[in-house]
Amino acid sequence: MGACVFSLKMIKYTKIKNIKNQNMADENTQTTQNTGTQDQTAQPVAPAAPAVEPTPEPVVEPTVAAPVEPVKPEAAPVATPAPEAPAEPVQPEAAPVEAPVVEPTPEPVVEPTPEPVVAPVEAPVVEDSATPANPEVATQCGCPEIDVAAWDKKKVTLKKTFYKTFSPRILGYHFSDAIDKNRGMIEIKVKDYTTPAKPMILDTNSLFFSTLLIETEGANAKDTKVVTMDKEFYCKATKNTSKKDLKDDLVALEQEMGKKPAEVYFWFVSCPKCGEKKAVKTIILAA
């Protein structure tokens, strides 16, 4: 549209310019003719020069812009409907099958079997040994049962071999007896020594560092931890086990011996499981 307006203005401008040029040419021609008429009286009139017509400017035809066709909007693609899936045929419902009626099978009647009458078995009577040669009788907890008459206030000669180990204490309090005894048993086994089924274990019962003597068999006499004992001891049975309570028993033992012993060992023959049932829990051996 702008191109068309511009072209029309150019055409108008060209026409106006041509009219102005034509008018100027006519005025020049008229002036020349008047000047020539005045000079005819004074001078001979020279032949008039042929009038030169102005060359008309070429008329530029306006260029008409080609009409612009409006852009048509593209048509949206038409969605092709998906083919419908064929409907599945409806199957007829199956008629419920009735479970067959099972009649319960009668349970067989079991007649009770009479229990056999077992006659009570009398426990064997174990006689206490009259001598300390075999003083131990196994109990349910594993502690030996001591014949008090064979040990209390008696002189007993011990001919045994022991394996020496240690047991730390806190002011005489036993806090690792089981560990210390087990360690000694392991050392005995490593050295290929043996022990009785229920060995005698003597304890020095010190305040801080006590010595344990575990009865051993087949030990090497040259071993520094092997102690061979062949000595007579004065023995005293007591129900006490603590370091504090045993002091009174040691005072009574000295009075009975008439002197202060050089060696004292304690043989603890009870445990927390059987201690309450036993009248004697410790045997004191002094020499």
CATH number of the domain that residue 161 is part of = 3.20.80
Task: Write the single-letter amino acid at 48.
Answer: A
Mean pLDDT lowest among 82-86, 167-171, 219-223, 236-240: 82-86
Query: Does the residue 137 lie in any domain?
Result: no
- The closest of 165, 180, 166, 163 to 220, measured between CA atoms, is 163
Residues 6+ apart with CB under 8 A from 240: 246, 248, 249, 281, 282
* Cα torsion 144, 149, 154, 159: sign: negative
What total number of domains does the chain contain? 2
- More confident position, 109 or 170: 170
Radius of gyration of the chain (CA): 72
Query: Does the residue 134 lie in any domain?
Result: no
Find the mean pLDDT for residues 1-25.
72
Task: Write the single-letter amino acid at 253.
Answer: L
Count CA atoms closer than 13 A to 115's CA, side-chain side: 3
Query: Does the residue 66 lie in any domain?
Result: no
287 pLDDT tier (thresholds 50, 70, 90) = very high
Task: Give the pLDDT confidence of 233-269 residue by residue, as tens digits.
Answer: 999 999 998 888 899 999 999 999 999 999 999 999 8
Quote the CA–CA distance of 52 and 30 in Å, as a whole number.
13
Count CA atoms closer than 13 A to 218's CA, side-chain side: 9
Task: Give the pLDDT confidence of 172-195 residue by residue, as tens digits.
Answer: 777 777 888 889 999 999 999 999
72 pLDDT tier (thresholds 50, 70, 90) = low
**With contact defined as beta carbons under 8 Å apart, do 207 and 267 qualify?**
no
Query: Does the residue 43 lie in any domain?
Result: no
**Helix H segments across the chain?**
2-39, 148-151, 177-190, 243-257
**With contact defined as beta carbons under 8 Å apart, do 192 and 216 qualify?**
no
Query: Does the residue 252 lie in any domain?
Result: yes
Share of residues in the chain with pLDDT > 90 (%): 32
Residue 188, burial from CB neighbour count under 10 angstroms (0-12, 13-18, 19+): buried
Neighbouring C-beta atoms of residue 253, cutoff 10 Å: 21
Mean pLDDT lowest among 97-101, 214-218, 246-250: 97-101
Residues 152, 23 share a domain: no
Query: Does the residue 173 lie in any domain?
Result: yes
Alpha-carbon dihedral of residues 128, 134, 135, 140, nearest 10 degrees? -80
Q: What range defines the domain where residue 18 resides?
A: 1-29
Query: Does the residue 217 lie in any domain?
Result: yes
Instruction: Write down the pLDDT at residue 193.
Output: 95
Query: Does the residue 191 lie in any domain?
Result: yes
Residue 21, burial from CB neighbour count under 10 angstroms (0-12, 13-18, 19+): middle
The pLDDT of residue 130 is above 50: no
**With contact defined as beta carbons under 8 Å apart, do 146 and 237 qualify?**
yes
Alpha-carbon dihedral of residues 9, 11, 15, 17, nearest 10 degrees? 60
